[in-house]
Amino acid sequence: MVQSIIKTNYNMFYTNVAKQQKEKLFLFRDTHSYRTLDKNGIEWSYLFSGKGADIILLLTGGSRAGESYSLFPELEKHYRVISPTYPIVDEIETLVIGIEEILKKEKLKTVILFGKSLGGMISQVFVRKYPNRVSKLIIANTMSPNPRYNRRSKITAKFLKVLPRIVVRKLTENHLLQLWNEAQEEERDFWTAYYKELLYTYMPKEWIISQFKLSYDFSNSFQFSPDDLKKWDGKMLIIDSEFDEIFDSSLQRELKMLYPQATKHTIKNAGHSPTLSKRKEYLSVVFDFLQKC
């Protein structure tokens, strides 16, 4: 079945959410239809919308959802944005090849590649495999291949596999509560409801496990060097956060050392989800980079 955001029983999740906030989300979904692609037996769905000549390929993080609601509506005001929903696979290479097939289908030559968290890992592989496809690269709240993190991902995937589905979902919810609570107070009820909806209607146990397998594959299958992109003439921005709960300061340092040519910005007093806690600053940094570089 094609994985895309579907209309659910909204009252199940959004009862306590301000009317204006939830109606804005519902309007977004009513006006954005998913396109599909079947490649090598894997079904993809993706959104493609917006204004402007330049195209942003937006690769989301652990929410998996192509709508990437914390960023997509703002980016599409100025750019055409294409954002895929990830199928349940275990290898980064499979995602990279599938994303390339989407670009082929849409007859897109070059894109601004914007990946956050897991999407940042995928982006680093994509720009190395298809450098001529990428004019600019933004990676945020992510890491480079790291054996230490690799071991943790492998152990976690094995642990989750033997647990009942309901327990995996609950553990994931407890973990994500840290991220939801990072949202600004006036939006916290909305983002809690939003991510609960994604988790309980859209992120099955198999996907949750596959995310750890993808993280493992990223560090196990790839080894990067600062020389990898020497011949790539694009511009690059790295965004990280002062208190990222997922990727700590040592991982952030390693990532920055890998890309000495990149513009770098650290968002102070923010965790792994600065799009929720510091969205104005986050978008200002992104748009400033895109307009000046």
On the question of pLDDT at 273 being above 60, the answer is yes
- Tokens at 110, concatenated: 């070059």
pLDDT of residue 64: 74
CA distance 78 to 70: 15
User: Integer distance in angstroms from the first to the last C-alpha of the chain?
Assistant: 40
- DSSP strand pairing (35-39 vs 42-50): antiparallel
Mean pLDDT of the chain: 91
Q: Which residues pair with 241 in a beta bridge?
A: 267
Region 73-102 average pLDDT: 96
Dump pLDDT digits (tens) for 113-142: 999 999 999 999 999 999 999 999 999 999
Helix (H) or strand (E) holding 205, with range, is helix 205-221
Q: In the block, which residue shows the tokens 């894997």? A: 42
Region 78-99 average pLDDT: 96
CB-CB contact of 63 with 86 (8 Å): no
pLDDT of residue 2: 45
Check residues 93 and 148 and name the one with the higher pLDDT: 93
pLDDT of residue 1: 41
CB-CB contact of 96 with 122 (8 Å): yes
Region 74-83 average pLDDT: 97
On the question of pLDDT at 178 being above 80, the answer is no
pTM: 0.93
Listed in sequence order, the residues at least 6 apart from 188 whose beta carbon sits closer than 8 Å to its beta carbon are 180, 181
CA distance 286 to 283: 5
On the question of pLDDT at 4 being above 60, the answer is no
CA distance 91 to 79: 30
Question: 165-171 long-range CB contacts below 8 Å, 24 or more apart?
Answer: 165/204, 165/205, 168/205, 168/208, 168/209, 169/199, 169/200, 169/205, 169/208
Dump pLDDT digits (tens) for 9-61: 677 889 989 999 999 999 999 999 999 999 889 999 999 999 889 999 999 98
User: What is the CB neighbour count within 10 angstroms for residue 292?
Assistant: 8
Dump pLDDT digits (tens) for 185-235: 899 999 999 988 888 888 889 988 998 899 999 999 999 999 999 999 999
Q: How confident is the model at residue 7 (pLDDT cuts 50, 70, 90)?
A: low
On the question of pLDDT at 173 being above 60, the answer is yes
pLDDT of residue 97: 96
pLDDT of residue 72: 96
Please state, for a pLDDT cut of 70, what percent of the chain lies above it.
97
CA distance 30 to 67: 12
Region 247-275 average pLDDT: 95
Q: Which domains, and CATH codes, for the chain?
A: 11-292 (3.40.50.1820)
